[in-house]
Amino acid sequence: MATHFRSYIWDPVLIVCQIVLMQCIYYSFLGLWLAGVDSLVQSSRSLDQIFNYQALGFATVQGRLSMMAFILNSLTCALGLWFFIRRGKQCLDFTVTVHFFHMIGCWIYNAHLPAALSWWLVNIACMALMAVIGEYLCMRTELRAIPVNTGPKSNL
């Protein structure tokens, strides 16, 4: 049996731990970004900014700043993908999983599926940014040159 460059072992415990870790990163940094945005406009903090789909909107300054926090959070989560997942092939999977669980959380919080077009647009844009940037960072690391010969060269 030949050895492979990278072994693919099914490890459900690792996958579940990575999903939980990415959810923690998502909500922790989203909370930090929203707290920073709230301090700029002297607004009060609440869970509505994270889970209420009506908080994201183009009409108000607070809605636009919340959208900016979501976009910045997708960049932060892309770094989380690069640092903890480290596999370009899995970036899209973890990105969709994080946003799927966020949609479920919004659904539970609001008692119905989010209906605002702005919520869907922001989350689709965030998914695209997080997946593409995370995959780019992971692929750049995966494709880094592997030194083969580190010993002294002989003159033949």
Which pLDDT score, from 0 to 100, does residue 40 have? Answer: 85
What whole-number distance in Å separates Cα of residue 70 and Cα of residue 66?
A: 6
What are residue 46's phi and psi, to 5 degrees? -155, 165
Give me the pLDDT at residue 55, please.
Answer: 86
Residue 77 reports pLDDT greater than 60: yes
Tens digits of residue pLDDT in 100-138: 999 999 999 999 999 999 999 999 999 999 999 999 999
Is pLDDT larger for residue 80 or for residue 57?
Answer: 80
Inter-CA distances, 81 with 47, 95, 103, 124, Å: 25, 8, 19, 17
pTM to 2 decimal places: 0.85
The terminus-to-terminus CA distance of the chain in angstroms comes to 35
pLDDT tens column, 19-39? 999 999 999 999 999 999 988
- Which of 86-90, 125-129, 141-145 tops mean pLDDT? 125-129
pLDDT band at 62 (very low <50, low <70, confident <90, very high): confident
Is residue 5 predicted with pLDDT exceeding 60? Answer: no
Residue 6 predicted with pLDDT over 80: no
Residue length of the chain:
156
